[in-house]
């Protein structure tokens, strides 16, 4: 029952967010210079006012704005996001076929960051003010200050060009090996550098956050009680301190999901990763607004998915959250 309510609440929240984004999208289209009619006219070279008026009527652009908005929302709900100005293909189709690659990349980076970041933070906190702590703190500061695209380029220079260990771009080899396992391994090899690049920034954030939260929690009374009971130190750290320090980190990770998906645009551009970020970059070069807006909507969907995942994690980590009505 409780789970059902949670899912229901989530569905409503996600629907509201996505609807708001659709409306925002509609407003952004209005802001863009020119409309479909001028684009088509420019391409066919026939820019007489008559043609423009007819095309606008065809696309319903001569109707009042609220009516247009309704049509637009209706179209989006039926997954009709319009056609790309360039390729004339439905943009929904173009985005959908790129979505798995982006989810793979951002998912891998997210998991990597959530596993490594807090682990480093814990290590730093139990070695507070000793060399290991200093090293981790400095490394976190450094990666927090480096632009993602620059880290990516340096990685390519070092791991691909100089050492020749990992492929510098793409998601598959030009001639993929045969066999399922070999193909998965091929993709995994291509995934390492982009996922590291995207993830390290968040590793830095989570390490800093975890260290702070751990040190703060460690000074609380119930930790002293646990120690006084004679619990072994590793139990105190994992079951008492970390368990409580994790909550703000997961909450924060959920908030950061939007940021992560945004970072994918940059990482995918650097590594020619065939996801929606790369698609956005191409759309950008060609000023293909329809496609850009579809990417925006798709990335918002990805964010909602990540938020859902972190909320679920949070409920697992803290049973009290499920008990309180949200």
Partner 1 sequence: MSFWQSFARNRGGVVGLAVLVLVVLLAVTAPFLFPFDPWDTRGAPLQAPGGAFALGSDMLGRDVLAGVFHGARVSLFIGVLSTVIAVAIGVVVGALAGYFGGLVDELAMRFTEFFQTIPSFVLAVLLVAILTPGLASVVIAISVVTWPPVARLARSEFLALRHREFVEAAVLSGVSHVRIIFGEILPNALTPLVIMGSLMVATAILTESALSFLGLGDPNRISWGYMIGAARAVFRQAWWLSVFPGLAIFVTVLAINLVGEGLNDALNPHLRRRTGP
* Contact residues: partner 1, CB under 8 A: 17, 20-21, 24, 28, 31-33, 141-142, 144-150, 153-154, 156-157, 161, 205, 208, 212, 216, 252, 255, 258-259, 261-263, 265-266, 269-270, 280-281, 284-285, 287, 289, 292-293, 295-296, 299-300, 302-304, 307
DSSP β-bridge partners for residue 90: 83
Q: Compute the distance between CA of residue 168 and CA of residue 157 in angstroms, rounded to an integer.
A: 9
Q: CB of 99: closest distance to partner 1 in angstroms?
A: 14
Between 72 and 289, CB nearer to partner 1: 289
Between 17 and 61, CB nearer to partner 1: 17
Q: CB of 110: closest distance to partner 1 in angstroms?
A: 14
DSSP β-bridge partners for residue 83: 90
Q: Compute the distance between CA of residue 211 and CA of residue 133 in angstroms, rounded to an integer.
A: 9
Distances (CA, A) of 301 to 202, 261, 296, 297: 21, 10, 9, 6
Between 122 and 279, CB nearer to partner 1: 279
8 Å CB contact between 278 and 99: no
Between 183 and 212, CB nearer to partner 1: 212
Q: CB of 151: closest distance to partner 1 in angstroms?
A: 9
Between 112 and 306, CB nearer to partner 1: 306
Q: CB of 314: closest distance to partner 1 in angstroms?
A: 16
Q: CB of 228: closest distance to partner 1 in angstroms?
A: 26
How far is the first Cα of the chain from the last one, in angstroms, to the nearest whole number?
14
Between 153 and 313, CB nearer to partner 1: 153
90 phi, psi to nearest 5 deg: -60, 130
The percent of the chain in helix, strand and coil, each rounded to the nearest 5, is 80, 0, 20
Between 55 and 137, CB nearer to partner 1: 137
- Residue written as tokens 């000023």? 287
Task: Kindly state the tokens that stand for 243.
Answer: 């368990």
Q: CB of 129: closest distance to partner 1 in angstroms?
A: 14
Length of the chain: 326
Q: CB of 1: closest distance to partner 1 in angstroms?
A: 26
Between 51 and 252, CB nearer to partner 1: 252
Q: Compute the distance between CA of residue 204 and CA of residue 136 in angstroms, rounded to an integer.
A: 9
Nearest partner of 311 among 263, 239, 244, 255, judged by Cα? 255
CB-side neighbour CA atoms (13 Å) of 299:
24
Nearest partner of 276 among 264, 260, 259, 290, judged by Cα? 264
Q: CB of 324: closest distance to partner 1 in angstroms?
A: 19
């Amino acid at each position: 029952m409780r789970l059902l309510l949670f899912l229901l609440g989530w569905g409503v929240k996600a629907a509201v967010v996505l609807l708001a984004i659709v409306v925002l999208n509609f407003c952004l289209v209005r802001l863009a210079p020119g409309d479909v009619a001028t684009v088509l006219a420019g391409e066919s070279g026939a820019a007489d006012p008559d043609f423009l008026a007819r095309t606008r009527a065809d696309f319903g652009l001569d109707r009042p704005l609220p009516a247009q908005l309704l049509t637009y929302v209706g179209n989006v709900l039926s997954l009709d996001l319009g056609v790309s100005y360039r390729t004339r293909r439905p943009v929904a189709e173009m985005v959908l076929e790129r979505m798995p690659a982006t989810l793979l990349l951002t998912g891998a980076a997210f998991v990597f960051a959530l596993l490594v970041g807090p682990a480093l933070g814990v290590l730093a906190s139990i070695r507070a003010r000793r060399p290991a702590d200093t090293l981790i703190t400095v490394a976190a500061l450094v990666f927090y200050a480096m632009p993602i695209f620059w880290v990516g380029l340096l990685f390519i220079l070092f791991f691909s060009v100089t050492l020749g260990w990992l492929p510098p771009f793409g998601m598959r080899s030009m001639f993929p090996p045969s066999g399922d396992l070999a193909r998965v391994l091929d993709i995994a090899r291509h995934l390492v550098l982009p996922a590291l690049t995207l993830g390290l920034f968040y590793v830095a954030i989570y390490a800093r956050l975890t260290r702070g939260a751990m040190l703060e929690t460690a000074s609380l009374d119930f930790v002293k009680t646990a120690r006084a009971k004679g619990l072994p130190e590793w139990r105190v750290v994992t079951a008492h301190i970390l368990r409580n320090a994790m909550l703000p980190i997961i909450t924060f990770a959920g908030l950061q999901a939007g940021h992560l998906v945004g970072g994918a645009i940059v990482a995918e551009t650097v590594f020619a990763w065939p996801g929606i970020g790369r698609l956005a970059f191409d759309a950008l070069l060609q000023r293909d607004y329809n496609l850009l807006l579809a990417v925006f909507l798709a990335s918002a969907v990805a964010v909602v998915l990540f938020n859902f995942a972190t909320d679920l994690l949070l409920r697992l980590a803290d049973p009290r959250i499920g008990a309180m009505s949200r």
